[in-house]
Amino acid sequence: MNTQRYRKQHEDILGAIDKIDRKLDVEMLMFNAREVRLLISGLFGKLKFHLSIEDKVIYPTLLRHEDSNIAHTAQRFFDEMGDIVDLLNSYDKRWSNEHKIKERPLEFMDETQAIFKKLVLRTNVENKELYALVDELP
């Protein structure tokens, strides 16, 4: 199993995060909240696609692996991702449109940056631990 396409998806996700992060400014949000919301929707679309592929390809293989260390590591990553997905869904509902963003721009920015921090950390850890594990499989 080759992880190159998953790593490329991570690059795309991180690029989308960076693009949105550069637009997180209270004054700018008064004018570009709609654009930011559309960019977030695009980011979440990329994330959902990426997660669905991982769920169909990577996790089933690793969770059934005969090496219990590999299976346990995969289970830990799988469980942690469920928590992140719940957080993303909650965020998406709370900031579902440009008007909500404009009403509380500072809160939106803080929560967005906290979510981004988690996503960046997660992609880095997946690249270094989970995908490295997959790359070592025969």
Rounded to 5 degrees, φ, ψ at 24 are -90, 90
Alpha-carbon distance values, 4 to 7, 86, 114, 131, 134 (Å): 5, 27, 27, 9, 11
Domain boundaries, the chain: 4-136
Q: Can you give the C-alpha Rg of the chain in angstroms?
A: 17
What is the rounded CA–CA span in Å between residue 105 and residue 98? Answer: 10
pTM for this entry: 0.92
pLDDT above 90 covers a percentage of the chain that reads 93
What is the band of 83 on the pLDDT scale with cuts at 50, 70, 90?
A: confident
Q: Are 13 and 119 in contact (CB under 8 A)?
A: yes
Q: Are 65 and 17 in contact (CB under 8 A)?
A: no
Instruction: Using the predicted structure, report yes or no on whether residue 138 has a pLDDT greater than 90.
Output: no
- Tell me which residue has tokens 């977030």: 40
Position with higher pLDDT, 133 vs 43: 43
Segments in 54-130 forming alpha helices (H): 59-63, 68-94, 98-103, 105-125
Average pLDDT over residues 27-44: 97
Instruction: Using the predicted structure, report yes or no on whether residue 82 has a pLDDT greater than 90.
Output: no
Instruction: Using the predicted structure, report yes or no on whether residue 39 has a pLDDT greater than 90.
Output: yes
Q: Are 115 and 21 in contact (CB under 8 A)?
A: no
